[in-house]
Structure 1
Amino acid sequence: MSARLSGRLARLLNLVPYFQAHPGISAVEAARDLGVTPKQIMDDLNQLWVCGLPGYGPGDLIDLSFSEDSIVVTFTAGIDRPLRLTSTEATALLVALRSLLEMPGVVEPAAAQSAIAKIEAAAGTAATADTPDAGPAVTENPVAGRVRDAVRRGRALDLTYYSASRDTVSERVVDPIRIVLIDEHTYLQAWCRTAEGVRLFRFDRIDDATVLDEAAQPPQRALTGDEHLELFEGDPALPAARLRLDPGYTWLLDYYPLTDVEVFPDGSCEAVLRYASRDWMVRLLVGLGSGVTVLAPADLVSAVRSRAGEALAAYAALDAAEPPA
């Protein structure tokens, strides 16, 4: 499921109990509370209006009375009834909660562990027999805890961050927007004041974080839509390498932000990879070996050839230093 769809699904699931707790609230007030636009609230309400229990007859659908001035839930289609989990559902939920504990910043460990204990107690041995032993209690990384706290309280952050693509560590002040899970990694989505744009910061690359005594104030345009959830966005200001990938190396397309891909009949392809640090790019290409050929620019071709020659010379020197068998 895409990040955009999963984010909307989570919001839709929360809307019915939210509007039950705030009868008559306006779309503007709800949008402010939920961190979206009034238009998004109205779009979500129109979607909820055609949702409900299987069968989807007139008496099964969620019913609402809503306008931009007032929103009231008139029929919940059973969403407010206590949930009864089967043993299979309880097992799946336990596995999911334990997986979330391993993702830094997603949940508060104490809260997740409390939920696990309650589900185990309610479901009994039927649901816990097939789940692995939870082991010792999980403690949260202090840095991840501070980031999550800043998101919860709406505070700006001073980050020390390692950028893999640039191979540098930098300090920057950011205005947190939310925490997202993409491709099994946790990211802080935030407005970076240095770059003046929305950026994703991977939790395991945040070396340090200080919560500032000022409110996070991302621009309104940063809060609308999910287009900023792409992990890699091409920066035309960065140099671009034109690469040829042998058929056995096309897996790189899934791991690096390669663009302008041209596939050939033999299964090989050519693509463009932008980079900020030439040293990082040279190390990457030399490490990949003969399966990837640099076609341009000329200075990168020369640097890769030179580094590969140095590596071969070092191996030759080692061979020469070894005594004959």
Structure 2
Amino acid sequence: MTTSSPARSSGPRPSADRLARLLNLVPYLLARPGIEVAEAAADLGVTERQLREDLELLWVCGLPGYGPGDLIDMAFDGDRVTITYDAGIDRPLRLTPDEALALVVALRMLAETPGMANRDAIERALAKIENAAGDLGGAPVAVRMPGDGDRADTLRGAVERGRALRITYYTATRDETSERVVDPMRMLMVGGRAYLEAWCRRAEAVRLFRADRIDALTELDEPAVAPPQAQPHDLSAGVFQPTPELPLVTVRVGRAGRWITEYYPCEQVRPGDGDEWLVSLRVSDLGWARRFVLGLGPEATVVSPPELVEQVRDVAQSALDAYSVPDTAAGFASDGAPRVVPRPATAAATH
């Protein structure tokens, strides 16, 4: 079952729970035409409001094409609802060879993902689909996830054994490598990457360490003992969660630089002159912001803060100076030294 538009929701709910409820809702209503919404909500263990939101979502679910005769349809008579077209959901599912292979590949990828919980359930589902797919299930398809799976397994073992770790870690925001002792708390998977959440004795705070940025680690004999104030992060909104105390950076970007508004959490996006946008976002470190803006090249102009404007200007000028070379065709200065002529170079513009 596919959807052609997002559902409206009154609040956050686990998507997996809602999907299971939607899949059960159609056969439930098919077996009970004309049932009252209140009765159906009580049977399904949801509020009437949640059920009505689910019915609204069902209205845009169905088969590819999303035209008349493709989407699930229903009729309301006061507070009673009847499914008038089920888009074939009542028929047994029969996968095409391509669909079966896609499921096998997806489940194998999940099974290979470092830190994935409920791996036994994934392997059981994979075995059932491979058995149903017959010869296709044994197709020579190898799936390997990017990243350091062995490192994630080692970290997971340290968490399970409750041991402190000495790690060498690369911090991308500051472009530096440091050594620190941490007390592991748990392993996480966020955005397809494995993270170690631990109490960092150097920072005296809970920190997240990306597994693929841990260059070296040693499991210590001492136990991992996080202090009482060490609380797990709420990562429901992602790893990076902007807060008001972080520096606010504003850049002017052209059409080719608009992609940053989709990739990074932005506080404000305003139209500028012509095709330009003024984009404001929080950053954890101005050093990272400097490298980020310079990487955008001529597509970005720093507007604020002033210290970032100065840093980008200095680095850009240094890059231009590095392109200055002796040009014998330009002749010589009065002291006999060859004239130095700067070659044109591309650098991030600043105010």
Name the residue aligned to 2:106: 96
CA deviation map 1:207-251 (0-9, x unaligned): 23344542564758835x835653213366654433222233121
Report the equivalent of 2:189. 180
1:133 match: secondary structure: coil
Question: Which residue number in structure 2 is paired with residue 24 of structure 1?
Answer: none
Report the CA distance shift for 1:217/1:308 in structure 2 as closer, same or farther (over 3 A).
Answer: closer
Larger RCO, structures 1/2 (Cα 8 Å, 6+ apart) = 1
The answer for the alignment partner of 2:151 in structure 1 is: 143
Could you tell me which amino acid in structure 1 is paired with residue 323 of structure 2? Y
SS of residue matched to 2:259: helix
Mind listing any 5+ residue stretches in structure 1 that lack a counterpart? 14-47, 64-83
Pairs within 5 Å for 1:275-294? 275-276=284-285, 278=287, 280-294=288-302
Q: Does 1:206 align with 2:214?
A: yes
Q: What is the Cα deviation at residue 296 of structure 1?
A: 2.5
Q: 1:135 to 1:148 in 2, by over 3 A?
A: same
Aligned to 1:20: none
Give the CA deviation at 1:271.
Answer: 0.8
The answer on whether the counterparts of 2:250 and 2:278 sit within 8 Å (CA) in structure 1 is: no
Q: Distance in 2 between matches of 1:96 and 1:216?
A: 38
**TM-score, scaled relative to structure 1:** 0.58
Amino acid at match of 1:264: P
State how far apart, in whole Å, the 2-side matches of 1:188 and 1:113 are: 23
Matches within 5 A, 1:153-168: 153-168=161-176
CA-CA distance at 1:286 after TM superposition = 2.1
CA RMSD of aligned residues (A): 4.8
Contact 2:294 2:312 in 1 (8 A): yes
Trace 1:211-290 onto structure 2 (pairs within 5 A).
211-212=219-220, 213-215=222-224, 217=226, 219=228, 222-223=231-232, 226-227=234-235, 230-234=238-242, 239-259=247-267, 261-264=268-271, 266=274, 268-276=277-285, 278=287, 280-290=288-298
SS of alignment partner, residue 244 of structure 1: strand
Once the two structures are TM-superposed, the CA of residue 52 in structure 1 deviates from its matched residue by 6.3
Whether the 8 Å contact between 1:177 and 1:218 is mirrored in structure 2 is no
* DSSP 3-state at the match of 1:222: coil
1:268 Cα deviation (Å)?
0.7
Indicate which of 55, 61, 75 corresponds to 2:28: 55
Q: Partners of 2:328 and 2:129 in 1: how far apart?
A: 63
Query: What is the number of equivalent residue pairs in this alignment?
Result: 256
Change (3 A) 1:250 1:135: closer
Identity score, percent: 34
2:312 paired residue number: 304
> Could you give the per-residue CA deviations for residues 12-68 of structure 1, whole angstroms, max 9, x where no partner exists?
x9xxxxxxxxxxxxxxxxxxxxxxxxxxxxxxxxxx9x99674178999689xxxxx
Structure 1 window deviating more from structure 2 (141-150 vs 267-276): it is: 267-276
Matches of 2:24 and 2:229, distance apart in 1 = 33
- How far does residue 294 in structure 1 lie from its aligned partner after superposition? 1.3
Unaligned runs of 5+ in 2: 1-5, 7-11, 33-38, 46-91, 330-351
Task: Indicate conservation of the 8 Å contact 1:241/1:273, yes or no.
Answer: yes
* Structure 1 counterpart of 2:270, one-letter code: V
Greater fraction of residues in helix: 1
Distance 1:152 1:143, change over 3 A: same
Q: Deviations over 1:104-162 (max 9, x none)?
A: 343799x7997698457623535427x662279x9974321111223444554443322
- Confirm or deny that 1:123 pairs with 2:132: yes
* Secondary structure of the structure 1 residue equivalent to 2:309: helix
| Residues 238, 211 of structure 1: alpha-carbon distance in 2 compared, 3 angstrom cutoff | same
